A and B are shown apart, each in its own frame.
Chain A
Amino acid sequence: MLQYLVSVCSLGAITAILVLGVNVRWGLAGELDLGFYLFPAVGAYIFGVVTLPKASTQVDVTYILGWHQSFFAGLLAAAVVGGLLSVVIGAVALRRLRANYFAIVTVACTIIGYTFISQYRPLFNGYNGIYGIAPPFGDSIKLGPEGYANFFLGICLFAMVAVFFVVELIRRSPFGRAAKAVREDEVAALAFGRNPYILRLKAYVIGGVVGAIGGALLVNYVLAFSPNAWSPLETFLLYGALLVGGTANNLGAIVGGWLVLIIFPQLSLLLPPIGGNPDALPAIQNMVIGLLIILTLYFRAAGLIPELQTMQGQFRTKGQWNWSRKGHGQVGVVDASASV
Chain B
Amino acid sequence: MHALWLGLGFGLVTASVLAISTVALSLQFSVTNFPNFAHGEMMTIGAYASYSTYQATHNVFFALGGAVLAGVITGFLINRLVISPFRRRNTAGLTLFVLTIGLALILQNGVLWIYSGNAQRLAIDPGQPHHVGGLLLTTQEMAIIVGAVLLLFGIHLLLRHTSFGRAQRAVAESPTLAEASGVNSGRIIDQTWLLTGGLTGLAGFVLALTTGSLTPGMGFSFLLVVFAAAILGGIGQPYGSMAGALVVGLAMEMGAVYIPSDYKLVVAFMILIVALLFRPQGLVPSKRLAAA
Contact = CB atoms under 8 A, between A and B. Distances in A.
Contacts of B263: 115, 119
Given A100-B34, A100-B94, A279-B117, A108 B101 contact: no
Contacts of B186: none
Interface string A1-42: 000000000000000000000000000000010100000000
A313 interface: no
Contact of A92 (B35, B260, B273): B273
A243 B276 CA distance: 28
A243 B102 CA distance: 11
Contact of A100 (B97, B103, B104, B272): B97
Interface in A21-79: 32, 34
Nearest to A295: B102
Contacts of A278: 116
Interface in B22-50: 34-35
B265 interface: yes
Contact of A112 (B105, B266, B276, B289): B266
B105 A298 contact: no
Interface in A203-238: 233, 236-237
Chief secondary structure at chain B's binding surface: helix
A263 interface: no
Contact of B102 (A95, A119, A240): A240
Contacts of A239: 98, 101
Interface residues of B, number: 49
Interface in A103-117: 103-105, 107-109, 111-112, 115-116
A98 interface: yes
A104 B110 contact: no
A201 interface: no
B277 A96 contact: yes
Contact of B85 (A98, A118, A286, A298): A298
B101 A104 contact: no
A297 B86 contact: yes
A323 interface: no
B99 A293 contact: yes
A107 B224 contact: yes
The 6 tightest CB contacts between A and B, nearest first, are: A290-B105, A293-B102, A290-B106, A277-B116, A96-B291, A283-B113
